[in-house]
Amino acid sequence: MTVVIGLIIFIVGGIAGFIINKISSTSSQEHKKLAEQASQSEEDLAQYKLDVAKHLDSSAKLLEQMNSTCQTAMKQMAESTTLLQQATTTESIHMPFFSKETQEQLAETVTLRHQKKTALTSERITEAPLDYSNNPSGLFVDKKQSVTNVE
């Protein structure tokens, strides 16, 4: 009977050991998976940090370029302003808008128009309109007209 009890204890112990091994083996596998995920996350974080550092470096270089471009533009604007101020002080302030020939043509046009206006006003003064003429046409007279088309 001791052999049977020993055999039963041996079988029960084997089954219990098998179950415990499976449970511990699953937790061991989960532990390995979690460790792999953690290491992968650490690698991803390190790569992300490198990418951010590269991005910030390139952004800093672009900002430096923008700054130098703005400085150059400011210098050019200052030089242009001084040149413009020098040009206005050295040249005549009363510079004509049109050239001499254009001004002469404009003056001729104005005088011709003025001459035409004076000629028109003198004609208007000497001649009355046809409605007020000395020889009325009789068109607006209130007379009975004779009918010429009688059937």
Q: What is the pLDDT of residue 134?
A: 66
Mark out the alpha helices in the chain (DSSP H runs). Answer: 2-90, 100-126
Distances (CA, A) of 101 to 94, 104, 108, 113, 137: 17, 5, 11, 19, 53
- Residues 6+ positions from 98 with CB-CB distance below 8 Å: 106
Per-residue pLDDT of the chain in tens (151 residues, 90 and over written 9): 788 888 888 899 989 888 888 887 777 788 888 999 999 999 999 999 999 999 999 999 999 999 999 999 999 999 999 988 887 766 555 666 778 888 888 888 888 887 776 666 555 555 666 656 566 666 666 766 666 665 5
- pTM, two decimals, is 0.39
Q: What is the pLDDT of residue 98?
A: 78
Among 98, 117, 95, CA closest to 106:
98
